[in-house]
Amino acid sequence: MKGLRFVIITGMSGAGKSLASKCLEDLGYFCIDNLPAALIPKFAELCSQTSGGIERVALVIDVREGEFLEGLFDILKDLREAGHEVMILFLEASDEALVKRFSETRRPHPLAGDGSVLEGIQLERRVLASLKGEADLIFDTSQLHVHELRKLLTNTFQQASRPARTILSLVSFGYKFGLPYDADLVFDVRFLPNPHFREELRPLSGKDRAVMDFVLANPQARAYLERLLDFLHYSLPLYLQEGKAYLTVSVGCTGGRHRSVSIVEYLGQKLSEWGHEVALRHRDIDKEVIL
């Protein structure tokens, strides 16, 4: 029986699971929404027996599984032992973002019952906590519009079909807006001189050449980047050795518009030159600039 590639799409209601399923379907995955967990082994067996047929599968599993979620981990373990590749993608979002989305769509939350949407969201977090803990990849969609999420998914799963290596997601962010949910490694560059206090640089972003030159000209920035790249050069092969196929490296400054953006752009260029698969995301770059 040949091994299949399974992506389990799960996470919070309203966080983008339907969009993720459609995106993976466009990438050639056979997608099924809400297949009962107990039927997954039989489905895998049928797919493996089909000559020249299905090789990549995406299954959407959420709180609608109810009590079946308890047996999901054993089922996924059996799939791996049978030679299948299994990856759990968990889509996350803040309470505020989810409440807003349910309000805009006027849909009831599946666990709200007679309570509020927020109560349903909080209950869902508790129900899915163990599944989130086992996730291979967590995307926080709070700040992403649909096109950004589609691009992130496309970049990730197109790269995942290439030869084995750790896929790097480099994220800039502002500490004033909170830490990224999906960060594996977090680096703080708030010690660097802030372009925000230079009148001519304040309206620009870290992607603009003038800001990048200002940030990277600082001796402390150059020394920091040299050490950070040494650390990544040493540690990335170890992550791959331990089976960590996806790694999110987050770099933060105060507002997420200048220093962290320039540093992430520089790291992305260097790591790409080393042959790594790199996806860049600037979470807070478009936040309002106070002049």
More reliable by pLDDT, 196 or 162: 196
3-state secondary structure at position 28 = coil
Q: How far apart are CA 225 and CA 212, in angstroms?
A: 13
Report domain extents, the chain.
5-159, 167-282
Q: Which two tokens stand for residue 123?
A: 């209950």
**pLDDT confidence of residue 160:** 58
Q: Which residue shows structure tokens 């200048």?
A: 258
More reliable by pLDDT, 86 or 162: 86
pTM over 0.75: no
Domain 5-159 classified CATH 3.40.50.300? yes
> Nearest 5°: phi and psi at 169?
-110, 115
Q: How far apart are CA 100 and CA 26, in angstroms?
A: 28
Q: How far apart are CA 193 and CA 178, in angstroms?
A: 21
Taking CA atoms, 61 is separated from 10, 72, 245, in Å, by 5, 10, 22
Kindly report the number of other CB atoms within 10 A of residue 143's CB atom. Answer: 19
Is the Cβ–Cβ distance between 72 and 37 less than 8 Å? yes
Q: How sure is the predictor about 290, in pLDDT bands with cuts at 50, 70 and 90?
A: very low
Is the Cβ–Cβ distance between 211 and 204 less than 8 Å? yes
Kindly report the number of other CB atoms within 10 A of residue 1's CB atom. Answer: 11
Mean pLDDT on 127-151: 87
Q: How far apart are CA 286 and CA 17, in angstroms?
A: 25
Mean pLDDT on 110-126: 86
